[in-house]
Structure 1
């Protein structure tokens, strides 16, 4: 029989025959179920949608003994009110249980979308962004409940120390939500990264001048032949086992030296040289025909010095820059570059700056920006525009011609002679 559900009613039910279901006498659809074990669950019964006898009745359980009868009654009122407005608590709960967390869907995005359509390097960077930055903060949150404020906090947190990384993480998350919309996981157009303004990024551009290039060339030659000298801390216990001072030198092999020289001479990217295979080289036409690169299929011009370097290398496998394993390309040049750049007194210079230097020398020699862009494999003219301020030689030449013409017309003394000082006016005392 229905009864007003109160603490006294619940105590009476618990001491009676179990299991038992009792409906509240005042709030229609509200009730309590006590299992044979004595566990208690509150519930509401309702007909979803427009209601009526044609709709099957649903029972939605919520809470347990931590809910007092008064709290359960208030929750039931709110649930029944939401049903009257068209909500379906049972369907909402089922949808919530089936929805994926950010961590779960991010892995699905990487395997289904990113690996099939993006460059391996981009996929690797996305994996780092997700594992190191996104998952610790939002990995457990349901994808469809992540808000703009959640991502704004994440962006600001990363940006305090690494603004460029923060921008890349947002780009990755944005791609994940775009794919989630195509999978009907979130509504089309739903992307909580919208409105988050990227941090300002200052491009790290470093161009080596002639003196620095000379030091770098000498450092490479020394490392390849005699080896680069190094110092140790004599105060450390392990110092007694170190080689004698005259033997403290680090040598690089011919392939490492060739890689560094090719990076300077061709302006190629690091992976384009380390992943270069002999079959990609067309010595007859002087080209590196790369089947894939950051910008897709690409041809790199081989100048005469670069051809001589390649012809002087021994072929030990399919890759030009041999590694410890012939079937795999070399991973990086970080260690030898640190040694050589330190020896050449180039602190803070990155390997990628060799590509910038190649372009800067071309700009300074008067080559047009479209030509430089073609040599570097740029697909957008705006990418090459960063070197525009270095193309000073043609402007310098034009300025000199104008100035020389003016001096000729105004007389040679116009530059060398100084105007006589103007006499000071006397003032009355």
Structure 2
């Protein structure tokens, strides 16, 4: 006996529990009548064609009134035919619905691996995820992420090639982890054949006239109270040492040896590292030690919050550049300038590499066999040139 539209229309569930109407000519196909009056076409079966001990599954096909009875019956026949072939349609639907999405990959990566990355790397990863990848791809199932998705994202960022390449590099890492975690088939990384954009190296060096302008602007802004002396000292030390921004901002007094003219960083982008201090840099740090805004801080350049170091020097740098009339100038250009001054003064490239920490230093033992004198001499060469412009 087949169910009829009239029979379904007239069915009710007078109590608090649903009432079921079953079609005898198609076992497992029926209608669920709810006390609210809603009626849904359903299919009931045993998983993988099993007997009474197999798991019982229920699939909702759709609501009566939205799907015609005959269409619901055909869909039920397809489902039950799949069951007869040993499939489990409901389990497959659940697996599809619960399949990990790209946002799940990021969450696991952030929880298990991101903490082992250096602070700057972790910050860049988070920025790329939150600002670039998540809004466009975060909701996509990992197994469904295709090269077309990746290519579209990459092309949408053609105006910022460096950031586009970094975003794809992170996405590729997440896809590789998906394969390792068996969330995606092996060897299917969709980032594999995406051609990276060509990145133009940006090497800006300040000329001596520009350094004169920077020095004058810093001194005037400090005198006017527009920037803290600590900020001006931090920027000057960046140029005197060629150090990276975070290496100077997070600097602790316990790492500084003014007598030896050395700063021994326990960690940096390239591992343990020694900074070499010119005489001018030593005098600047001696002045900073006496006149720091927080003399009791363990940090050379204390921040506004107690126990924290200076973090944001972008705003004072912007003020200095504006006052000096310099366009398109980055803080990192101070590091480039220190190197260019050394080259101009005839310092050899191996020594410059040591000054800037370009070599990967894994242990302090590597320094035990190297004489510091050539590097200190080079540091003083840079210091004299910089001092003539910034430290008048």
TM-score scaled by length of structure 2 = 0.77
Quote the residue 1:410 is aligned against. none
Cα distance between partner residues in 2 of 1:202 and 1:55: 66
Give structure 1 regions of 4+ aligned residues with deviation exceeding 6 angstroms.
Answer: 15-18
User: Please, which of 261, 267, 281 is the counterpart of residue 286 of structure 1?
Assistant: 261
Distance in 1 between residues matched to 2:273 and 2:325, nearest whole Å: 34
Structure with larger Rg:
1
Q: CA contact under 8 A between 2:13 and 2:19: conserved in structure 1?
A: no
TM-fit CA distance, 1:183: 3.9
SS in structure 2 at match of 1:203: coil
Q: After the TM superposition, which residues 66-215 of structure 1 pair with which residues of structure 2 at under 5 Å, given as runs?
A: 66-80=66-80, 82-83=82-83, 87-115=87-115, 117-157=116-156, 159-215=157-213
2:31 is aligned with 1:32: yes
1:20 is matched with: 20
Distance 1:253 1:15 in 2: 77
Alignment counterpart, residue 337 of structure 1, candidates 317, 331, 353: 317
Q: Which residue of 2 aligns with 1:403?
A: none
Distance, in Å, in 2 between the alignment partners of 1:33 and 1:332 is 63
Contact 1:58 1:90 in 2 (8 A): no
Does residue 302 (structure 1) correspond to residue 280 (structure 2)? The answer is no
Q: Which residue of 2 aligns with 1:269?
A: 244
CA RMSD of aligned residues (A): 3.1
Change (3 A) 1:119 1:87: farther
Is there any run of 5+ residues in structure 1 with no aligned partner, and where?
228-249, 381-429
Task: Give distance in 1, aligned partners of 2:211 and 2:42.
Answer: 79
Distance 2:13 2:246 in 1: 76
Equivalence for 1:240? none
Aligned length: 351
Shift of 1:206: 0.5
Deviations 1:278-313 (A, max 9, x none): 001122332211112222222212222211211222
Evaluate the alpha carbon distance shift between residue 288 and residue 79 of structure 1 in structure 2; reply closer, same or farther with a 3 A threshold: farther
Distance 1:347 1:20, change over 3 A: same
Q: Distance in 2 between matches of 1:15 and 1:327?
A: 68
State the Cα distance separating 1:270 from its structure 2 match: 0.9
Q: Counterparts of 2:333 and 2:124 in 1: how far apart (Å)?
A: 21
Unpaired segments of 5 or more residues in structure 2? 361-392
Separation in structure 2 between the aligned mates of residue 322 and residue 8 of structure 1, nearest angstrom: 81
Residue 376 of structure 2 corresponds to which residue in structure 1? none
- 1:291–1:298 contact (8 Å) kept in structure 2: yes
TM-score, scaled relative to structure 1: 0.71
Looking at structure 1, the residues matched to 70 and 93 of structure 2 have their Cα atoms a distance apart, in angstroms, of 23
The 1:104–1:52 alpha-carbon spacing in structure 2 relative to 1, beyond 3 Å, is closer
Distance 1:174 1:269, change over 3 A: same
> SS at 2:113's partner residue?
helix
Contact 1:290 / 1:298 at 8 angstroms: preserved in 2? yes
Greater shift in the superposed pair: 305-314 or 214-223 = 214-223
CA contact (8 A) 1:45 1:57 kept: no
Alpha carbons of structure 1 residues 190 and 28: separation in structure 2 relative to 1, 3 Å: farther
Judged with a 3 Å threshold, the aligned counterparts in structure 2 of structure 1 residues 82 and 287 are, in CA distance, closer, same or farther, namely farther
Alignment partner of 2:203: what SS?
coil
